[in-house]
Amino acid sequence: MSAHANNLMKTILVLGIETSCDETAAAVVARGSDGKGRILSNIVRSQFDEHKVYGGVVPEIAARAHTECLDRIVAASLAEAGISLADVSAVAAASGPGLIGGLIVGAITGKALALAGGKPFLAVNHLEAHALTVGLTDALQPPYLMLLVSGGHTQLLFVESVGVYRRLATTIDDALGEAFDKTAKLLGLGMPGGPAVEGAAASGNAARFDLPRPMLGRAEPHFSFAGLKTAVRHAAAKVAPLSHQDVADLCAAFQAAVGASVADRVALAMQTVSDWFPEGARKPFVVAGGVAANKALKAVLAGVAEDHEFSLHVPPPALCTDNGAMIAWAGAERLVNGLTDDFAAPVRPRWPLDPTAQPAQGAGVKA
């Protein structure tokens, strides 16, 4: 064992593998006995070039790309961490939700490594990994209120403890990341859609187009973005052909409408859960998932949190998007709680964090 590995003997070291969509990623994280974490390596290989010609992720291409490079990504993550497979405490792999081909590649690789090294295996829920990332970045432990905003999910959840989540709300149509991507495509912007819309909005006039604020003021807690996306399409058609300024103004108006709608939904959730926290305890509010990297949305939610006496916690942008460190950290948290898996653990294209939540009409796979 290396001297570096010897220095880490009092910590838990977890190798994490992420292949749920179009990033091939592996990382090693260390979790100390005090519950604090450190990232020893975090390597992400984007498949952007493979998919950009199609305007979106092609599942078969994604799975093949994972197969072609995952072994090298894992080897590089171990090397960067300065350890070998023998030094890790466990191997974690994203096992759902996501594209089944990619999940199979990652889970089989993770199981093979765990079996070869005689290590525990952890089948990690990709959404749980997003939910727990603040433990790695901010040393924040549950309970807390969380807004999960990604390409496939938009949910408000109360995180009670590792493995215990209560869903308060979900989208009844498009996820927020999906709405950003579709808006970007509609306006002729590139992939990924979220950063493209945010970039264009920076020079736009949000007041030029009067777009709806979906679900604003509704007692029902859920989200909806399909109508907003349609409103953008109609507004764009009225001023076509679109100039650069037209696109910027539409993006700014779309982003402002999103901020108002999400803020309203979050405020409702904060009112609901405020007395669920221990008396006198601080009330953390966590924003996780790829859309959490949006600076405009973060600014709006900071105001909502302050108004309702919640503390806002958002991981850095590189840990909001898909990565291996979040899988490794979720694996470490599950390991210390005795939540390991056997080698028969399935991959699950659908895997809700709260399986007891009542279905929301129209939510479908985003439930």
Are 115 and 221 contained in the same domain? Answer: no
Interval 272-307: pLDDT, tens: 999 999 888 899 999 999 899 999 999 999 999 999
Are 218 and 151 contained in the same domain? Answer: yes
Are 281 and 338 contained in the same domain? Answer: no
Instruction: Give yes or no for residue 1 having a pLDDT over 60.
Output: no
Task: Grade residue 7 by pLDDT with cuts at 50, 70 and 90.
Answer: very low
Q: CA-CA distances (angstroms) from residue 160 to 273, 297, 366?
A: 11, 25, 21
Indicate the DSSP class of residue 203: T
Are 124 and 167 contained in the same domain? Answer: no
Are 106 and 176 contained in the same domain? Answer: no
Within a domain: residue 361?
Answer: no
**What per-residue confidence (pLDDT) applies to 79?**
98
**What per-residue confidence (pLDDT) applies to 362?**
65
Within a domain: residue 359?
Answer: no
Question: Whole-angstrom Cα distance, residue 80 to residue 72?
Answer: 12
Indicate the DSSP class of residue 344: T
Are 281 and 341 contained in the same domain? Answer: no
Are 160 and 119 contained in the same domain? Answer: no
Interval 64-108: pLDDT, tens: 889 999 999 999 999 999 999 999 999 999 999 999 999 999 999
Within a domain: residue 366?
Answer: no
**What per-residue confidence (pLDDT) applies to 6?**
47
Are 132 and 21 contained in the same domain? Answer: yes
Interval 194-244: pLDDT, tens: 999 999 999 999 999 999 999 999 998 899 999 999 999 999 999 999 999
In this prediction, residues 240-256 reach a mean pLDDT of 97
Question: Whole-angstrom Cα distance, residue 327 to residue 31?
Answer: 13
Question: Whole-angstrom Cα distance, residue 19 to residue 149?
Answer: 19
pTM score: 0.90
Query: Which domain, by its residues, includes 335?
Result: 3-137+319-351
Are 171 and 309 contained in the same domain? Answer: yes
Are 254 and 337 contained in the same domain? Answer: no
Instruction: Give yes or no for residue 49 having a pLDDT over 80.
Output: no
Are 120 and 239 contained in the same domain? Answer: no
Number of domains in the chain: 2
Interval 338-356: pLDDT, tens: 999 999 999 999 999 999 9
Euclidean distance between the first and final Cα of the chain, in Å? 46
Within a domain: residue 293?
Answer: yes
Q: What is the mean pLDDT of the chain?
A: 92
